[in-house]
Amino acid sequence: MEDSERQHVVLFPFMAQGHITPFVALAELLRRRRPTLIVTLVSTPLNIQKIKSSSSPPSLSSIRLRSIPFSPAAHGLPPEAETAAAIPFHQIVTLLHASRSLQPAFEQLIEDITQEDGRPPLCIIADNFFAWSVHVARRFGAFHCIFFTSGAYGTTVYSSLWTHLPHRKTDSDEFPLPEFPDIIIHRSQLPKHLLMADGTDPWSDFLQGQISLSSETDAVIINTIEEVEKTGLRMLRKVLPCPVWPVGPVLSSPSSASAGNDHIMKWLDSQPPASVLYISFGSQNTIAAPQMKELAMGLEASRTRFLWVIRPPVGFDVKGEFKAEWLPEKFEERMRDEGTGALVHGWAPQLEILSHASTGGFLSHCGWNSVLESLSRGVPIVAWPLSGDQLYNAKIMEEELGVCVEVARGNMESSKADRVVVEKVVKEVMHGGQRGKEIRRRVEEVRVLMKEAWRDGPGSSVKGLSELF
């Protein structure tokens, strides 16, 4: 796409950390790589405030931030729903539907930009949850591009499951994906809302609508790497009629450990190299109380050092006080006295932790940003996927890439976690078992591929971005 006269690009992420982080990183990347572009990032007021307070000013100074009004209360949601954090799972679908109400304000903003610049933006780069923005782009004659913030395989499998609901057509525990019969999905790899979906429920209504609209976009860029996700990209290109350009890894720049986190980094400084298992279930998720106990007991039995970002379990207020009864008796005291484990309540500087020499593994829910952050730092993954595309990210990473071992799956009442399995897998990955060694070797290969993708000249992601601008 070339048009030197019209060079304003508008970025529009869905309002959740896992979407906003890569969009901000993409905005910074665009400004660095194409200094002539004017880059505007649009979100709701609370999210714009959060972006301003969490990003380092020099990198943001070249990006224009614009907010458009959004009222969670008008949709029966609490104010904090605007950031999609700390709201119960059933409210997420209400938020997705509520986000459709942003269209008139977004349209007005594009109108304002058009007035200010004397011409419409060159391109609107929107989230796949905002595929409806293609209508806005068409009205103004702007190029429309969707930025997928999740991986190619996870995105395609998840979209295919929602489009065809194949589990409703069989009683079997395992079934093939209609478009890709070589891919066998197990019923336990379906999140609860997908398992319950019948095509007329609010989840199907929203997701099927946006999936179908995404085929109207002009191009797709995706936060993945051509050489790493060959299978996933082949699949995505088969289902989408437009060009698909991988531009990953698009990662936020590590800020120096922000205020209030010094104690975490100091604790890591005092640990031996590659000895610590970092544990986090992302920005929104948590596990069930019985699973928490199994994880703690498995960790203790494995005699592995760990740094665990912990939140109240499923069914409790995630922002509420953490109760010791959710963990084995005197667990935290024992870990503290022995100096072998640390719990972080709330938020941790993840990229800094993964970049630290003491970190040797990541027990992760396999959100795509976490996956990219871990692999880009050469840190092997112990997978505990919970929902959405996470389940398929874990599947491809274990089956094809060989960079992780799955230890448990899901956080529903019926989802089991077993301390014996936790102990075995953690020991294998962290204490140099045969499989652990192989995983480390593969992770290192993937780390190099990711770095090469952004090498000037031949890098595949450099090429992907230059296809767009």
What is the contact surface with ligand UDP in residues (CB under 6 A)?
A: 17-18, 21, 280, 282-285, 309, 347-348, 350-351, 367-370, 373
C-alpha to C-alpha distance for 190 and 311, rounded to whole angstroms: 24
Is 151 or 298 the residue whose CB approaches ligand UDP more closely? 151
Nearer to ligand UDP, 17 or 128 (CB): 17
Give yes or no for a contact between 341 and 335, defined as CB atoms under 8 angstroms apart. Answer: yes
Return d(Cα 23, Cα 8) in angstroms, integer. Answer: 16
Grouping H, G, I as helix, E, B as strand and the rest as coil, residue 362 is strand
For residues 87 and 95, the answer to whether their CB atoms sit within 8 Å is yes
Q: Quick one: 211 or 279, whose CB is closer to ligand UDP?
A: 279
Q: Which residue has the tokens 């398992």?
A: 195
CB of 294 to ligand UDP, least distance (A): 21
The nearest distance, CB 422 to ligand UDP, in angstroms, is 21
Cis-peptide into 249, omega within 30 deg: yes
Assess contact for 44 and 69: CB atoms under 8 A.
Answer: yes
Distances (CA, A) of 393 to 131, 179, 248: 22, 18, 15
Q: How far is the CB of 252 from ligand UDP (least distance, A)?
A: 7
Q: Which backbone phi and psi does 127 adopt, to 5 degrees?
A: -70, 155
- Pick between residue 370 and residue 460 the one whose CB is nearest to ligand UDP: 370
Asked if residue 75 lies in contact with residue 100, where contact means CB atoms within 8 angstroms, the answer is no
Tokens linked to 3:
């048009």
CB of 297 to ligand UDP, least distance (A): 23
Both tokens assigned to 356? 């630290």
Q: Residue 245: helix, strand or coil by DSSP?
A: strand
| Nearer CB in complex with ligand UDP: 121/385 | 385
d(CA 202, CA 197): 9
| CB nearer to ligand UDP: pick between 117 and 398 | 398
3-state helix, strand, coil split of the chain in percent (to 5) is 50, 15, 35
Nearer to ligand UDP, 249 or 298 (CB): 249
